[in-house]
Every structure is written in structure tokens, then in C-alpha cells.
Amino acid sequence: MIGPSFEAVLAAAAGGDELAFGTLWRDLQPGLLRYLNALAPGAGEDLASETWLRVVGRLDRFSGDERAFRAWVFTVARHRAVDRWRRTTRRHDELVPTDALVHLPAPDDPASSAMDAISSRAAVALIATLPPDQAEVVLLRVVAGLEVAEVAAITGKRPGHVRVLAHRALRRLATRLGEPARVRGAV
Amino acid sequence: MDAGNVFPAEMPDDHPQPMAQPIVPLDDDTAERLLAGHLHPEDAPPGYAEVARLLQAAAGPPSPEELAGLEAALAGFRAARGGLGQGRALRHGRDRPPPRRGRGRPPPRRGRVSAPFRRGGGRPPSRPGAPARLVALALAGTLVAGAMWTGGGVWIADGALTALGLRSPSGGPGSGGPGFGAPGSGDGPGVAGGAGRAGGSGSLRPVTTAVTGGRAPGPPSASERAAAHHGRGATSRGGGSAHGARLGAHGKPPKAKPPKAGKAEAGKARQGEPKMGGPKRGGAKTPRTKAGGNRTRAG
């Protein structure tokens, strides 16, 4: 989050200031890549470029605070991903890379106790194994840092449904993260 | 106590198995804190410590490879901003209203405030064949002006206007109204002189002084109008260019008749010779011409 200086940064970026745009880009690009890589694995870079191109084209028309700006950028990114998904006419769950799960350490791994042992990439890959609606809700809440109402507006769901999806996703993740240890403990 | 002397079930469990941790349902507040990354894994409910760790990792600081595309992004930003300016220019050029044709209006100047208000609405739809009519009208106007100057080509101008279905202000062969300064009348001195002079040449050469007789062309007198009607038949039969030649050939001026007789005769000639008077006018069937005829009969 940029903070109180967001309005000035946004105005400068809308005026063509590259430094201000770089600030916006550095703040949003990592989350954008993680979100888009989960929605469309292997196409996150392209979709992020398309998203920024669209955002830059309409930057001077945007009005709102930083949260609204983040919600708008992720809305544009989601539209880009949906368009790409429609073009490729693939099923969403076929786009999830399962090989990325290899890098996720087991919960009983001694290295797993260290927080930095789990890379953000592996964590996003594990979240992406959830059902698509649950994975999207969790990514928008965690990676994009959006609230329930904003996620509901982006995904076109009711806030109550977003909460239910988040609860189910957390429970499923907890179950999934406990399964390997259970198996190893049985062995 | 040795471990070998006891049953395994009595051994203390120093290493609790993960499956021993039940996954309890989360309340909303805990779930919100978990999703927001505000819940430390040590403080997480049983079974959610790894979830908290996973979510914190997913929202972790950016890696260098995620920020590696900054230069490319800035280059794209520059290109997009440049493209935006160009796009605006093109869009403005496209939105500019097309140059108007015809109607004698000046083309819109660039940068006028009123230009956007013309976009889309307010412009009357163009009629097919309108440019040709306008050109013909302009040509007829030129001929009328020249005829007023020369005093001779008004009949041709009348013919052109008649062909367009318009009524000329000077009357003429097909108009049914009086024409002033018409050649062939031979009524006034200047006109007669002009007729004789034109008869020699048989052309529409401008002879201003002779035609007008040294006076400026003005509204005709009643006798001139009557004479013009009288000479209409000869002009129609002989064509527009015979105005002075025929008179010059005969060498005598037409008979001067009183205005009433001339009007009546003109009305008779109009009724009895519907095909005379130059080219057919579509306007002869129009209500305006009928009304004019009624006025003539009434008069």
C-alpha cells in the first residue's frame, strides 16, 4: 500500500510522470502477477501487461482512493483473464500447474517451520488447487488485500457468498495441509 | 522408567501427531484475521497454523523476478502515453465535421467552439440531386444578372429557370407574367434601338448603352409589360435568340396597344396556346401556376 501520498502519486502518474507510475506498478505488480498466474498459469505476464495497458489508457479518468484503485486494477485484470479464458476455451481447472506443488514442503518438514521456506509462488500454487471460485476469493482477499465487499463487486457475488467461499477455502486448505503428515504418520 | 517395560499405549506422547489436531470451524473474526494476515501461526486455531503460514507466504514481499519487468513497464507507459496523445489527435480529426458542400456557406473553421455542437444533430439531411440543382440555380442567377446588364439574355435565363421548375422574377416566355425590359417589345426608344441593333447581329452581344437607351434598367412601365406579352409568341416560336433579329428583319415595330387590350390578349394567348411559351414547365401543373392563372382570369 502506498499510503497517504497515493492521491499525489496517482495524479502525477495520470499526468505522465514515470516515477509515479513506477511507484504504482511496484505496489501492484507482484499481487497482480500472483493473482493472474493462479487464474491463468503461464499467462500471468501477458495478462498483467494487458492490464497495465488498459489501466494506463484510463488512468486520467479514474477517481477514488487507493483501495478503489486496487479494486479497479484487479477488476481489469480479471476481465483480461476471463477474455483469455474465453479465447482459449479451456476449462479453468486444466490451467492449474501441478508441478509447482513439488516446491511446497511438507508440513512435517523441519524446513517448513521457517516462514521463508514457503515461497509465495508455491503458496499461490497451492491456493490455486482449490475450486476456482474459492481460490479467486482467497487470492483477492490475501494477495490483492481487498475487503469482502470489494471482492463481491469484482466477482459478481454477494458478500455473504464471498464469506462462505472463504470459509470453505480455509477449511479445505487446512485439511489438505494436514493430509501428508497424516499419511506419513501412518507409515 | 524404561520404555521397554511398559505397553506402548502407556507411553507418553511427546510428539503429537498432526491428525490429533481437529480442524475446528472458524468464526468470522478469526477468518478475517487469517485472511488479512493479522493472525500469527502460533496464535492460529488448531489445524490452521499451516494455513496462516501459507497465507502469509502468499502475501509476502515481492521477489526480484516479480519486479524485473519495471523497465519494460515504464517503456510501455511511455509508449502508451504517446499513443494516447496520438489517439486523441486522430479522434479529434475523425470527430471533426466534414466540410460542407453547396449552399454557399463557408466551411467551418478549425477550433470553433460551436463545432462539437454540430456533431450528429442539427444538420439537415442532404437531398439527392441537390448539388446539381444548386449549380443550375447559380448558373441561372448568373444569366439573369447578365441579362439585366445586357437587357437581352433574360429570356434565356427565364428559360433556364423554367427548366428548373422555378418562376423567374422577370416573367418571361413561360412565366405568364410580365417581363420588363424584354427585347422585341420595341416600345421604348432605347429598346427599339436595341432591337434593331441586335437584329443585325443576331447575337446576345452585350450592348448596354443601346439597349438601355442611356438609362439605367428599372421597373417597366405598363406599356412595356404589355408589349412584352405581345412579343412573347414570336419569341417562343422563333426561339430565345430571335428577339431582335426578327424585329430587325421585319423592320417595323409592333403595334402599340392599350394596356387593357394587351392584358386581355395576353390572357387569351395564355389560355389558347398552352404549349407556347418556351419549354414546358412542370410548374404549369402546380398549384402555384394554377393560382396564377386564376389570378389572371380574375384580373
SS (H, E, C) A20-40: HHHHHHHHHHHHHHHHHHHHC
Give the mean pLDDT of B236-258.
43
The pLDDT assigned to B230 comes to 46
- A31 against B188, higher pLDDT: A31
Contact status, residue B199 vs residue B245, Cβ threshold 8 Å: yes
The pLDDT assigned to B135 comes to 77
The pLDDT assigned to A130 comes to 95
The pLDDT assigned to A98 comes to 54
The residue of chain A with its CA nearest to that of B19 is A182
What is the b/e burial string over B84-104, where b = at least 16 CB atoms within 10 angstroms of the residue's CB?
Answer: beeeeeeeeeeeeeeeeeeee
Quote the CA–CA distance of B234 and B186 in Å, as a whole number.
Answer: 13
Give per-residue pLDDT as tens, B48-90: 999 999 999 999 999 898 999 999 999 999 988 876 554 343 3
* B134-B140-B141 Cα angle (round to 5): 90
The pLDDT assigned to A104 comes to 52
Give the mean pLDDT of B183-211.
37
The closest alpha carbon to B155, from B138, B169, B168, B172, belongs to B172
- A69 against B141, higher pLDDT: A69
- B174 against A29, higher pLDDT: A29
Query: Does position B121 have pLDDT exceeding 80, yes or no?
Result: no
CA distances from B269 to B230, B253, B261, B275 (A): 9, 20, 12, 10
Question: Is the ipTM here above 0.90?
Answer: no
The pLDDT assigned to B293 comes to 39
Read off φ and ψ for residue B249, nearest 5 degrees. Answer: -70, -40
* B39-B43-B48 Cα angle (round to 5): 80
Does any CB of chain B come closer than 8 Å to the CB of residue A170?
A: yes
Quote the CA–CA distance of A148 and A171 in Å, as a whole number.
Answer: 18
Instruction: Note the Cα B54 to chain centre separation in Å.
Output: 68
Quote the CA–CA distance of A10 and A65 in Å, as a whole number.
Answer: 9
pTM for the full predicted model: 0.49
Query: Does position B273 have pLDDT exceeding 70, yes or no?
Result: no
3-state secondary structure at position B75: helix
Facing residue for B47 by CB, picked from A33, A45, A174 = A174
> How many contacts does A have with B, using Cβ atoms within 8 A?
131
- B15 against A7, higher pLDDT: A7
Give the mean pLDDT of B182-188.
37
Instruction: Determine the length of chain A.
Output: 187
For B76, other C-beta atoms within 10 Å of its C-beta total: 18
The pLDDT assigned to B207 comes to 38
Closest-CA distance, A117 to chain B, in angstroms, reads 9
- Best of A17, A56, A164 to disrupt the B interface (most B CBs within 10 Å) is A56
Facing residue for B19 by CB, picked from A53, A127, A178 = A178
What is the b/e burial string over B30-54, where b = at least 16 CB atoms within 10 angstroms of the residue's CB?
Answer: bbbbbbebebebeebbebbbbbbbb
Indicate the average pLDDT of chain B: 54
Does any CB of chain A come closer than 8 Å to the CB of residue B19?
A: yes
The pLDDT assigned to A177 comes to 87
Is A49–B76 a contact, with Cβ atoms under 8 angstroms apart?
yes
- B31 against B143, higher pLDDT: B31
Quote the CA–CA distance of B156 and B158 in Å, as a whole number.
Answer: 5
The pLDDT assigned to B182 comes to 38
Read off φ and ψ for residue A41, nearest 5 degrees. Answer: -60, 135
Quote the CA–CA distance of B61 and B295 in Å, as a whole number.
Answer: 98
Give the mean pLDDT of B107-121.
38
Q: Would you tell me which residues 91-110 of chain A have a C-beta closer than 8 angstroms to some C-beta of chain B?
A: 107-108
Is B18–A22 a contact, with Cβ atoms under 8 angstroms apart?
no
The pLDDT assigned to B23 comes to 76
The pLDDT assigned to A115 comes to 45
Quote the CA–CA distance of A102 and B291 in Å, as a whole number.
Answer: 100
Of the ranges B73-82, B164-173, B227-236, B252-261, which one carries the lowest mean pLDDT score? B227-236
The residue of chain B with its CA nearest to that of A163 is B28
One digit per residue, the tens of pLDDT, for chain A of length 187 reads 888 899 999 999 999 999 999 999 999 999 999 999 999 988 999 999 999 999 999 998 999 999 999 999 999 999 999 998 888 865 555 555 555 555 555 545 544 444 445 788 899 999 999 999 999 999 999 999 999 999 999 999 999 999 999 999 999 999 988 765 444 433 3
The pLDDT assigned to A144 comes to 94
**How large a percentage of chain B has pLDDT more than 70?**
24
The pLDDT assigned to A101 comes to 53
The pLDDT assigned to B57 comes to 92
Residue in the structure block whose three cell numbers are 488479512 = B36
Does any CB of chain A come closer than 8 Å to the CB of residue B91?
A: no
Is A174–B50 a contact, with Cβ atoms under 8 angstroms apart?
yes
Does any CB of chain B come closer than 8 Å to the CB of residue A120?
A: yes
The pLDDT assigned to A89 comes to 66
Query: Does position B33 have pLDDT exceeding 50, yes or no?
Result: yes
Q: How confident is the model at residue B164 (pLDDT cuts 50, 70, 90)?
A: low
The pLDDT assigned to A171 comes to 93
Contact status, residue A169 vs residue A130, Cβ threshold 8 Å: yes
Read off φ and ψ for residue A36, nearest 5 degrees. Answer: -75, -35
> Which chain A residues are within 8 Å of B75, Cβ to Cβ?
none
